[in-house]
Amino acid sequence: MTMKDASVAALVEAARGAMAHAHAPYSGFAVGAAVRLTDGEIVAGTNFENASYGLSLCAETVALATVNSRGRLADVEAIAVVGGADGVTPCGRCRQVMVEAEQIAGRPIAVYCASASGDAVTEHRVSALLPYAFGPMDLGVTRKKRS
């Protein structure tokens, strides 16, 4: 296993660990996400459903919002998303959230997708997941302002 493979495997395992905390009583579909920062720190998230179904939060959005709450959005470099027997890919809203994170980070964010327990991991670029995206640059914002 190469160093890159090892770091991807660790990220996927962190996302799988987060699945245990999914609040998904309505769909029964647990999703875990894990964000790797430039210093190697991993921040996890899981889906948080709501009795008013449409208010549910996805795992990727929860993980990236947690990164933001720690003031680390500029340091995001990769995110793993795991769920289901056949795997999961980010929903449309999460792709837009990833565009925001990527443009603020100022680097491409690698997106790794896997199932709840299988070996296969697919790698994606945010620009491929959401081509022609509208983002912060369209509003003249290039970096998160630090206070």
Rule CB under 6 A: say whether 94 interacts with ligand THU. Answer: yes
Relative orientation angle of helices 3-19 and 59-69, to the nearest 10 degrees: 100
Of the candidate spans 8-16, 22-30, 128-136, 139-147, the one that interacts with ligand THU by CB under 6 A turns out to be: 22-30
94 is in an annotated binding site: yes
Determine if 124 is a binding residue for ligand THU (CB under 6 A).
no
DSSP-derived letter for residue 120 is -
Please, which of residues 54-93 interact with ligand THU by CB under 6 A?
56, 58-60, 88, 90-91
Which residues does 22 contact at the CB level (< 8 Å), separation at least 6?
30, 31, 32, 46, 47, 48, 59
Judged by CB under 6 A, the residue of 47, 82, 103, 105 near ligand THU is 47
The first and second tokens of residue 45, run together, are: 């998230």
Report the nearest approach of ligand THU to the CB of residue 71 (Å): 24
Q: Which of 13, 41, 60, 123 is catalytic?
A: 60
Does the annotation count 60 as an active-site position? Answer: yes
Q: How far apart are CA 116 and CA 40, in angstroms?
A: 23
- Extract the tokens encoding 82: 């795991």
